[in-house]
């Protein structure tokens, strides 16, 4: 019986919260709350500065993919040539050439994997730098709202739409942070490592 009362009370509180939030949403008023919510991923992917960083990362990723395709084609041709020459080469010479080719493939694979990892790390580093740069703008927005805490929106079970500051934050970042301000931290991956 006690559990039933507690469950009923919790349900009533949830319904009251939902009704209050619905009423606040209908009026469209800014809700004064000590806690606001924010979607970090949207802040990065929808602000112009974040999009500029993502476009550079995507261009570098596409360049690396093209380089990998070129290297693969070169290695395939080299392997085909080696296979065709097998019949005319002494066994020891062919074995030596095949081992050298295998070592080359392993070396190139390691180099290309390192470039892919560096690109992935750069995304994380660039995203961290982006948030360092926008933090003062977010703090300003939070102060204007009279809030004292910001929660990731995805971590909140239930909230009024009006306490979400993501759209306002994106507009503020777009207005005050140039797209070149959040610079990438590393140069694009170097070309090279091809089949020589």
pTM: 0.68
8 A C-beta contact, residue 38 and residue 152: yes
Our CA angle for 185, 64, 55, nearest 5°, is 50
Which fold, 31-176?
Answer: Protein Binding, DinI Protein; Chain A (3.30.910)
166 three-class SS: helix
164 three-class SS: strand
Query: Tokens at residue 141, please?
Result: 């927005």
| Tens-digit pLDDT string for the chain (196 aa) | 554 445 444 443 343 344 444 444 454 566 788 999 999 999 999 999 999 999 999 999 999 999 999 999 999 999 999 999 999 999 999 999 999 999 999 999 999 999 999 999 999 999 999 999 999 999 999 999 999 999 999 999 998 999 999 999 999 999 998 765 555 555 444 544 444 4
């Amino acid at each position: 019986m006690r559990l039933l009362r507690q469950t009923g009370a919790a349900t009533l509180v949830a319904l009251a919260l939902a009704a209050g939030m619905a009423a606040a949403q209908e009026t469209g008023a800014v809700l004064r709350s000590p806690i606001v919510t924010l979607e970090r991923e949207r802040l990065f992917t929808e602000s112009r500065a974040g999009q500029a960083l993502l476009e550079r990362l995507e261009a570098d990723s596409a360049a690396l993919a093209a380089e990998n395709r070129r290297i693969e084609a070169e290695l395939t041709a080299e392997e085909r040539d080696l296979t065709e020459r097998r019949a005319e080469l002494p066994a020891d010479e062919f074995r030596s050439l095949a081992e050298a080719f295998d070592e080359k493939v392993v070396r190139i694979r390691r180099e290309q994997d390192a470039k892919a990892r560096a690109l992935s790390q750069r995304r994380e580093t660039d995203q961290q730098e982006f948030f360092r740069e926008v933090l003062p703008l977010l703090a300003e927005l939070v102060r204007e709202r009279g809030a004292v805490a910001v929660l990731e929106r995805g971590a909140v079970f239930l909230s009024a739409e009006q306490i979400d500051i993501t759209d306002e934050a994106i507009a503020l970042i777009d207005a005050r942070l140039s797209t070149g301000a959040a610079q990438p931290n590393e140069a694009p991956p170097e070309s090279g490592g091809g089949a020589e």
